[in-house]
Amino acid sequence: MPPLLKIILRRALLGLLTLLLVSVVVFAATQALPSDTARAILGRDATPERLAALREQLNLNRPAVVQYGSWLGGVVTGDLGDSLVAKQPVTQLLSGRVKNSAVLVSLAALISIPLALVFGSLSGLLRDRGFDTAVSLGSLTLAALPEFVVGIILVLLFATQVFHLFPAVTLLNPNASIFGQLKMLVLPSMTLVLAVAPYIVRTLRASMIEVLESDYIQMARLKGMPERTVLGRHALPNAIVPAIQVIALNLAWLAGGVVVVEYLFNYPGIGSALMDAVSNRDLPVIQAITLLIAGLYVIFNLTADILTILVSPRLRTGLQ
Amino acid sequence: MSPGRSKGPQAVHGSGLELSEEVIGPGFENVSAPRAQGAKRRNEWVQLAHDAVHYRRTQVGLLLVFLVTVLALFGPLAAPYTPYEFTGLPYAGPGDGGLLGTDNLGRDVFSRVLNGGRSVLVLAFAATAIGGFLGVTMGLVAGYTRDAIDDLVMRVLDVVLAFPQIVLVLLFVSILGPRVWLIVLIVGLTHSPRIARVTRGATLEVRERDFIKAAEALGVSRVRIALGELLPTITSPLLVEFGLRLTYSIGLIAALSFLGFGLQPPAADWGLMINENRVGLIVQPYAVFVPVVLIAILTIGTNLVTDGMARAMIGIERDTGV
């Protein structure tokens, strides 16, 4: 199918272009702003020698374009520079953190997506009944709440005030497997689930209602097809398509949402690493993490676009 | 928060837009009498507000927003102490340490709560206004110029969209330092692509209408058409979008204060209070709980009002009573 391939290739190239522009923004915000980067990092009372050494390390003496080129070259070859604080390669410093965040985000995604799909489609199916009203108001309320508010309410409920079931801060033993310490992950992942699920629920409810009102569902019902087949074979698969994009956007949001949630629970992932790096002005670490998060967004988005093209017959066959 | 996290504005083409065409009538008259027709079109968002208020959820939302706003704006007048004076031992409970106890340094929590809402409200509103101005401008330009500029603007906005809003703020704060104006500006900036998309979408629908064509044929300048004809026609979706962005601004500004990048100590600010007092959560929960609840009430309130407006715009019947 060359036309389909061509469309996918075009989307991939656009994604790559966005990724490149993203790297320009990351670089510009940290190294090319009209301020003395070296002095900002070291503070007012830095000695001229230390300033000179740092400028040398970060290539700050050369033109911005050259700096960007060598930085991007490093990124492409997997060399993200050395942390200014820990004095070790950024990749080495972050590898454990990336793994921890990946576990947390995957756990949140694995729980929230099926949960939201069930609640959303049931809510659309039982439109305007008690269940639907409760789900709609619940998701509207949760969608309004900032994630740290949700997190603190969960801590008050399940860790400190009402029940004492789960720890309020994450104290992971770095020498043991993270999967043996799942109790630590309950509250952080629950916070992320409650932050993400409402949007998927609301999208699926809306698309379910739209699908159920369509002619082909009416046709299927009129010709006497069992309700279960109508819902399982016709309604649900079509209702899920618009949700793919929203799920992808929310997965991408999770990558950024972990910043606040990890800080709140003191969870050792990339979010809390970014917070530490920002307060220490650890430039190479800031660049690496922001680039990673924005890169994930572009990739999730691209995957969702391609998936949507592949699963919707109208888009797929329209190309041929 | 992520760009896909806005549901309402997708259903932009609603009764509101069709209504405006009916009201406006044939294009030529309204070009020759811009004033009269402007007054008529203003009815559109008055009508939207009027319709929205009939939903129970809008009423509840308005009440919540009103309560928190009054508390934030007039609270400082009712505070028994200044937010900075020490009134007791750190983390004293309610009773011996005032109505809500004291905070991590022994300051009166009740007085700090009453003083700490103004900053959240003002900064969030400012950020939303900046985002609205930039977004509507770019959206109108992109949607109305229809050529290469449209492509360029939308491509650049895609890049801003690739950063979660809080990450972009952290990126700029890292070297320039936590300055309040910078945070407001960047939060506004991160809103603008989302608002621009909604504006552009609505503009694309309206620009083919007869009254726009008529104005173009008469040689009215494009700027005047954009501001005088297009913009007044798409106020309903923009109003809904503004409400949504205001909700997210409150959350973002509060979250940034909570992370320690908003107002700096010793300022009284709800987000900062949560950060300062969470170590003492077990002994003195009120210093955290009360600001958290107030932020929650405010965002739930703005979201309920926004949802009411979105429902009024797309004309969902009020058969469930909520």
pLDDT given at position A228: 87
B23 pLDDT above the threshold of 70: no
Q: 3-state DSSP call for residue B209? A: coil
Q: Judge whether B254 is closer than 8 Å to chain A, CB to CB.
A: yes
Alpha-helical (H) ranges within chain A are 2-31, 37-42, 48-57, 64-76, 90-125, 130-144, 147-155, 186-212, 215-222, 227-229, 236-265, 270-280, 283-311, 313-318
pLDDT given at position B314: 80
Greater confidence (B22 vs B287) lies with B287
Residue A223 host element (H or E):
none
Residue B211 host element (H or E):
helix B210-217
Any idea which of A75-89, A107-121, B31-45, B76-90 has the lowest mean pLDDT?
A: B31-45
Measured in angstroms, the CA of B221 and the nearest CA of chain A are apart by 35
| CA distances, B18 to each of B15, B233, B314 (Å) | 5, 10, 11
Give percent of chain A with pLDDT exceeding 70.
96
Question: pLDDT of A24-44, one tens digit each?
Answer: 999 988 887 766 777 777 777
- Band (A234; pLDDT cuts 50, 70, 90): confident
Query: Which candidate in B65, B168, B174, B293 is best for mutational testing of the A interface (most A CBs within 10 A)?
Result: B174
pLDDT given at position B43: 61
Distance, CA of A10 to CA of A3 (rounded, Å): 10
- Taking one residue from A and the other from B, the number of pairs with CB-CB distance under 8 angstroms is 169
Asked whether the beta carbons of B125 and B246 are under 8 A apart, the reply is yes
Give percent of chain A with pLDDT exceeding 90.
35
pLDDT given at position B245: 95
Contacts of residue A68, Cβ cutoff 8 Å, sequence gap at least 6: A24, A27, A31, A32
| CA distances, A200 to each of A109, A188, B93 (Å) | 11, 19, 41
A211 pLDDT above the threshold of 50: yes
CA-nearest residue to B319 within chain A is A128
As a whole number, mean pLDDT of residues A244-256 equals: 84
Distance, CA of B120 to CA of B187 (rounded, Å): 13
- Band (B213; pLDDT cuts 50, 70, 90): confident
CB < 8 Å to A18, chain B? 155, 158-159, 162
| Contact state of A156 with B307 under an 8 Å Cβ cutoff | no
- Band (B97; pLDDT cuts 50, 70, 90): low
As a whole number, mean pLDDT of residues A249-263 equals: 87
pLDDT given at position B129: 97
B108 forms bridges with which residues in the sheet?
A: B102
As a whole number, mean pLDDT of residues B243-250 equals: 95
Any idea which of A166-170, A245-249, A261-265 has the lowest mean pLDDT?
A: A166-170
Would you put residue B156 in left (φ > 0), alpha (ψ -120 to 50) or beta? alpha
pLDDT given at position A128: 85
As a whole number, mean pLDDT of residues B233-246 equals: 92
Q: Judge whether B251 is closer than 8 Å to chain A, CB to CB.
A: yes
- Band (B16; pLDDT cuts 50, 70, 90): very low
Distance, CA of A184 to CA of A190 (rounded, Å): 11
| Contact state of A160 with B285 under an 8 Å Cβ cutoff | yes
Any idea which of A116-120, A136-140, A178-182, B47-51 has the lowest mean pLDDT?
A: A178-182
Asked whether the beta carbons of B196 and B6 are under 8 A apart, the reply is no
pLDDT given at position B28: 32
B15 pLDDT above the threshold of 80: no
pLDDT given at position B152: 86
Greater confidence (A147 vs A34) lies with A147
Asked whether the beta carbons of B237 and B198 are under 8 A apart, the reply is yes
B29 pLDDT above the threshold of 50: no
pLDDT given at position A249: 83
Domains and CATH numbers, chain B: 43-116+268-322 (no CATH), 119-266 (1.10.3720.10)
Question: pLDDT of B120-150, one tens digit each?
Answer: 999 999 999 999 999 999 999 998 887 788 8
Q: 3-state DSSP call for residue B102? A: strand
pLDDT given at position A318: 55
CB < 8 Å to B166, chain A? 256, 259-260
pLDDT given at position B316: 65
ipTM (interface pTM)? 0.88
Any idea which of A32-41, B186-195, B206-215 has the lowest mean pLDDT?
A: A32-41
Short-list A92, A79, A15, CA closest to A252: A15
pTM, full prediction: 0.86
For chain A, the average pLDDT equals 86
B204 pLDDT above the threshold of 60: yes
- Band (A1; pLDDT cuts 50, 70, 90): low
pLDDT given at position B17: 32
